[in-house]
Structure 1
Amino acid sequence: MFQSFEETSNPAAGPGRLADLRGVMSKEGFDAFIVPRSDAHQGEYVAPRDDRLAWLTGFTGSAGFAVILADRAGVFVDSRYRVQVKVQVASDFTPVDWPEISLSDWIAEHLSGGVVAYDPWLFSVEQLRKLMKDLPEHEFRATDNLIDRIWEDQPDAPIGKITAQPVEFAGEAHDEKLKRIGASLKAAKACVLTLPDSIAWLLNIRGTDIPRNPVPHAFAILNNSGDITLFVDDRKLGDLATALGPKVKIAAPDSLITVLAGTEGPVQIDPATCPVAISSVLATSGIATTEAPDPCLLPKACKNPTEIASTRAAHTRDGVAMVRFLAWLDQQPAGSLTEIDVVKQLEGERRATNCLEDISFETISGTGPNGAIVHYRVTEKTNARIEDGHMLLVDSGGQYRDGTTDITRTIAIGTVGDAEKQAFTRVLRGMIAISRLKFPKGLAGRDLDAFARAPLWEAGLDYGHGTGHGVGAFLSVHEGPQRLARTGTVPFEPGMILSNEPGFYREGAFGIRIENLIVVTQAEPRPDATIRDLLEFETLTYVPIDRRLIVAEMLTAPERAWLNSYHETCRNTLLPLVDDTAAQWLVNATQPI
């Protein structure tokens, strides 16, 4: 299996490791040391070697950081992880509600002046700039990574194989991308690329350095001529090094600093993702820099017609696997399965497509109270039995050569209470609101997020995560810069793929989330419209929503019409592709309300 169920968090080891770290800090004269979740590439996902935050604290979430002082250690997590962090860290660590409590405010409260140490490869220019502005009385000092000094059995850096992503799925040759993106560097002669998914997209390559994310660890310097130097261990490339052609020069990773120091400026960096170590080399070498977003971000986010067509095919295939799984699940008596049984069966159905490259993230299978842990990861220790009256939340996805999927369904097990059904229906109404929405071009996630929350707000309820994230095309399941959230400031453009996943969680009781993937499209023009440029969302995911959890009287007529039409499309799309047992389940599950 791709997924394993061993316990990766080790809270008991935290106090000893914390003591060792403080010993190094004292010897170096550091009053604080910041431990980010990120790696040198500033991506969300990290290889085992770079999982320093989890090694030190026990917290295994995909976002967060820690600040270690002589007398306290704060672990900063957002609302998705506040239940999880309580059980994963020892009492020597104090969970901090972030971003409600900012890093600078916490440091100012607990440390009056002093030296704050950081690894310049793990901090972006923007992050350090903000800290120095907010804490002018503190000294910020770059250092080698102190965790690496005390982590005796730290894994080696990954050397995963890199393969080509065929143009039949990418829709554009990498030479054309290099020319197009190079020409976009108007004020710079070169640009430093640090994000693995940007480099993978630009060169039509995929890697295996990070579990669940088909990207390679690499840096790159792109010239405005369209030539590029790729800093990567050539053992990963094999014959692909020649196939990439003359525009792509391969260089050893440890030559990056030397090449940077000799690069002709101005050099463009993205302050949000460029490590301080890189900007420092450029500054020390007297090379002029300009600042702008990573030039691959928007082109990568706006999928071309080939990528969208391929993604549709991936979702149809994944929908068949999901329907087979849900049909199987409904045949099992309440109490006969565990959360791990569910994960294994679902991965088996995806494997049966003979197209699965990997799962797109660790499958979340949470029953009853575990469903309230937003990013719950089932282990042999936490594995719960799925009992009558529970709701089972299953959030999962697949990585296929032609697309990345991400879907959540909340499923009734036996007889579920009225309160749970009412909450489920409110979440569904929010998901439908986004699905039906038409909106003027120029609006961003922060402008639309409230539509998903309004039915919950009516009852004084809400959820603590964004409504949706960007999704790649056989790339990272979490992709920027687009976000369907209060923090989403990048306007939506046609071709952007996002998740649509409102939820509701009652700690210690149950969790609800319903998720489809959607793509931004141009809306049909209306003859009487005063809005010149109107956008809407096309749904990519076609898997039935559990009608047993819906309070039909709570739906408006347009909501009911959307749901019935959606289920009809699910049936028409998938029925010719499933066997008799799954076909009967599909027909029953898509009956109109």
Structure 2
Amino acid sequence: MRAEGLDAFVVPRADAHQGEYVAEADARLAWLTGFTGSAGFAIVTMDRAGVFIDGRYRTQVKSQVDLAHFTPVHWPETAPSDWLREALPAGGTAGFDPWLHTRKEIEAITRGIAGSGIELVPVPANPVDAIWSDRPAPPVGPTRAHDDALAGETSAEKRTRLAEQLRREGQAAAFLSLPDSISWLLNIRGSDVPKNPVVQSFAILADDGRLTLFADPAKFDDRVIAHLGGDVSIRPPDTLSDALLDLVDPVRIDPASAPEAAFRLLERACSVIAPAADPAILPKARKNRAELEGMRAAHRRDGVAMVRLLAWLDGQDPADLTEIDVVTKLESFRRDEGITDISFDTICGAGPNAALPHYRVTETSNRRLSAGELLLIDSGGQYADGTTDITRTLPLGEVPPEAIAPYTAVLRGMIAISRAQFPKGVAGAHLDALARQFLWSLGLDYDHGTGHGVGAALCVHEGPARISRISDLPLEPGMILSDEPGYYREGAFGIRIENLIVVAEVEAEPGRRMLGFETLTLCPIDTRLVDLAALSRDEIAWLDAYHAQVRRELVPHLDGTTRDWLDRATAPLG
């Protein structure tokens, strides 16, 4: 930093594709600080370093970073510009890697430091990379074709549809930087990033439907190249900058996801840039009939795996098991049902470990289960036809009385979202309070969103749809979301209940469009922690109907012992 004339440098969690999950070669924040959460960043000056984390990671970060050198900073309560103003009161130069930040991020920091004497500048060589002597090589995972029947549409049809949009909006081309958008658009899947079947790449889509894909050619065999067809050409990643400089006006580029470096290249080449959302992001979020059928089928198989786990777990002495034992058993049941991978690192937290919303068990943290504690299991699978994500919280032996009220409040919030009906135009921010209302009445809350978007045989966390206080995107039919309120008592226990739901049309009066949710997840919700007296008649009816659906869809696929367990676990409450 001193050699480059920098007084501060920003180290993001994201890679050049703004992915939540990054390849080992791009895990700069984890390598530098030790923090492995899925969101956050650091700012390093000559005498201090702040690690910015949101509410999900405020306990985790303290156990992962060296607090003598790195100071946790509550974000977004403290903006990076606020921290820089305090750290550099006399002004100075703050550097950033323009390939690792979006234009939206850079503009926000620039506005925040206006008048402070601090200059935010791009640096040509990332100083983290300069000292990371054993940095892994970039991934070159093999690519496979995603069946057009599962996609519900060919890649050519998708590209034609998006190209028509570009022409309507007067755009000659679109720059794509999100690997899940590109993988969806080309009906391909990859293995570059663990748990996320995307192909790390950039792309330029022309207004005639032709596409140039910037990725290591070694990822593609002859079958995949044939699947892509003649209108898709593959070029090495190091040719991207020249290709951007060769583009003609106007070019569509997304300020919320494209690298700042790409903006700067286009500004050198074009007189007109069209800042607009990635043209694939909304079509990808609106799942078609084939994608929804695939997701339903994947959830049936995943439900079988989950029920087998829960039935097995109920027959064990908790003291004989550790968190890793449970994770291993669940993954074996999912392999029996045909997963290609898990969809994220399984969260299996017992007792106080469950109070960490994104806890990851390791050999060091692995806890033996104990009667009288809660066990939280948040997990999912990647199947050829769909992606799953489910959380269940259950008591180990005797029910801890102090957990009953918050568990019941979390369950009521989850049911409230599941039962919600709303007019077209309603966004996730309008629904978020439905999930929190019962916790709020107890003076409780949780520091994460209520729901995230989910891809169809793609990323388990998918934009742009979500249920959150800051989400103003209207929900549309076909969007798949998680419904996962929670409660976490540090040092004691954690509670979360999660189903995946899909937005669907519901009956309404003539002339009005109303939407609601269909539940995709098929697995009993533990009722041993429920205060039944606190549930309304409608809530009990919903839970009984849901459990009846679980029985109906899963019983044909279970052995006798597991079937008997499921009958008991889903016995009507009303």
Q: TM-score range by the shorter chain?
A: over 0.9
Report what 1:138 is aligned to: 118
Give yes or no for the alignment of 1:229 onto 2:229.
no
Report what 1:31 is aligned to: 7
154, 162, 171: which one pairs with 1:173? 154
109, 129, 134: which one pairs with 2:86? 109
Aligned equivalents of 1:418 and 1:262: distance in 2?
Answer: 67
Give yes or no for the alignment of 1:151 onto 2:129.
no
347, 356, 360: which one pairs with 2:331? 347
Report what 2:38 is aligned to: 62
Q: Is the 8 A contact 1:314 1:404 kept in 2?
A: yes
Q: How far does the alpha carbon of each residue in 1:125-184 deviate from its partner, in whole angstroms, 9 at most, with x for none?
A: 111111112212321221111111000100000000011100111000000000001111
64, 67, 80: which one pairs with 1:88? 64
Report what 2:554 is aligned to: 574
SS at match of 1:394: strand
Deviating more after overlay: 466-475 vs 567-576: 567-576
Q: How far does the alpha carbon of each residue in 1:274-318 deviate from its partner, in whole angstroms, 9 at most, with x for none?
A: 111111111122442111000001000000011001100000000
Q: Tell me, which stretches of 5 or more residues in structure 1 are unaligned?
A: 1-24
Aligned equivalents of 1:555 and 1:335: distance in 2?
Answer: 33
Give yes or no for the alignment of 1:289 onto 2:267.
no
SS at match of 1:399: strand
Shift of 1:100: 0.7
Q: How far does the alpha carbon of each residue in 1:167-217 deviate from its partner, in whole angstroms, 9 at most, with x for none?
A: 111000000000001111113100100000000000000000000000011
Report what 1:248 is aligned to: 232
For residues 328-339 of structure 1, the aligned pairs below 5 Å read: 328-339=312-323
Give yes or no for the alignment of 1:123 onto 2:106.
no
Report what 1:258 is aligned to: 242
Report what 1:497 is aligned to: 480
Give yes or no for the alignment of 1:480 onto 2:460.
no
Amino acid in structure 1 at the alignment position of 2:522: Y
Aligned equivalents of 2:508 and 2:101: distance in 1?
Answer: 46
SS at match of 1:446: helix
For residues 161-560 of structure 1, the aligned pairs below 5 Å read: 161-185=142-166, 186-239=169-222, 240-353=224-337, 355-526=338-509, 532-560=512-540
Amino acid in structure 2 at the alignment position of 1:147: V
Report what 1:100 is aligned to: 77
Aligned equivalents of 1:395 and 1:296: distance in 2?
Answer: 29
Aligned equivalents of 1:75 and 1:579: distance in 2?
Answer: 50
Aligned equivalents of 2:401 and 2:294: distance in 1?
Answer: 41
Aligned residue pairs, count: 565
Shift of 1:27: 1.9
Q: How far does the alpha carbon of each residue in 1:210-245 deviate from its partner, in whole angstroms, 9 at most, with x for none?
A: 000000110000011111101111110111123311
Q: How far does the alpha carbon of each residue in 1:58-109 deviate from its partner, in whole angstroms, 9 at most, with x for none?
A: 0000100000011110000000000000000002100000001111111111
Amino acid in structure 1 at the alignment position of 2:537: A
Amino acid in structure 2 at the alignment position of 1:439: F
Deviating more after overlay: 138-147 vs 554-563: 138-147
Aligned equivalents of 1:460 and 1:187: distance in 2?
Answer: 52
Amino acid in structure 1 at the alignment position of 2:300: T
SS at match of 1:428: helix
TM-score by length of 2: 0.97
SS at match of 1:214: coil
Identity of aligned residues (%): 55
Aligned equivalents of 1:545 and 1:286: distance in 2?
Answer: 56
Q: Is the 8 A contact 1:371 1:392 kept in 2?
A: yes
Aligned equivalents of 1:28 and 1:218: distance in 2?
Answer: 30
Aligned equivalents of 1:356 and 1:327: distance in 2?
Answer: 20
Aligned equivalents of 2:145 and 2:162: distance in 1?
Answer: 19
Deviating more after overlay: 50-59 vs 421-430: 421-430
SS at match of 1:249: strand
Q: Is the 8 A contact 1:452 1:502 kept in 2?
A: yes
Shift of 1:422: 1.5
Q: Is the 8 A contact 2:248 2:270 kept in 1?
A: no
Q: Is the 8 A contact 1:307 1:402 kept in 2?
A: yes
Amino acid in structure 2 at the alignment position of 1:96: V
Aligned equivalents of 1:429 and 1:243: distance in 2?
Answer: 47
SS at match of 2:470: coil
Amino acid in structure 2 at the alignment position of 1:101: T
Q: Is the 8 A contact 1:66 1:73 kept in 2?
A: yes
Aligned equivalents of 1:450 and 1:130: distance in 2?
Answer: 27
Aligned equivalents of 2:216 and 2:194: distance in 1?
Answer: 18
Report what 1:40 is aligned to: 16
Shift of 1:587: 0.5
Deviating more after overlay: 171-180 vs 409-418: 409-418
Aligned equivalents of 1:123 and 1:333: distance in 2?
Answer: 49
Aligned equivalents of 2:326 and 2:318: distance in 1?
Answer: 13
Q: How far does the alpha carbon of each residue in 1:13-33 deviate from its partner, in whole angstroms, 9 at most, with x for none?
A: xxxxxxxxxxxx112210000
Shift of 1:334: 2.5
Q: Is the 8 A contact 1:187 1:290 kept in 2?
A: no
Q: Tell me, which stretches of 5 or more residues in structure 2 are unaligned?
A: none
TM-score by length of 1: 0.94
Q: Is the 8 A contact 2:488 2:495 kept in 1?
A: yes
Amino acid in structure 1 at the alignment position of 2:287: K
Deviating more after overlay: 248-257 vs 278-287: 278-287
Aligned equivalents of 2:529 and 2:371: distance in 1?
Answer: 14
Runs of 4+ in 1 over 3 A off after TM superposition: none
Shift of 1:417: 1.9
Shift of 1:114: 0.5
Aligned equivalents of 2:471 and 2:346: distance in 1?
Answer: 26
Aligned equivalents of 1:467 and 1:124: distance in 2?
Answer: 25
Aligned equivalents of 1:399 and 1:460: distance in 2?
Answer: 37
Amino acid in structure 1 at the alignment position of 2:521: T
Quick one: structure 1 residues 303 and 360, their matched pair in 2 at CA, closer, same or farther if it must change by over 3 Å? same
Shift of 1:526: 4.2
Shift of 1:424: 0.6
Q: Is the 8 A contact 1:444 1:490 kept in 2?
A: yes
Q: Is the 8 A contact 1:364 1:376 kept in 2?
A: yes
Aligned equivalents of 2:514 and 2:334: distance in 1?
Answer: 36
Aligned equivalents of 1:482 and 1:329: distance in 2?
Answer: 35
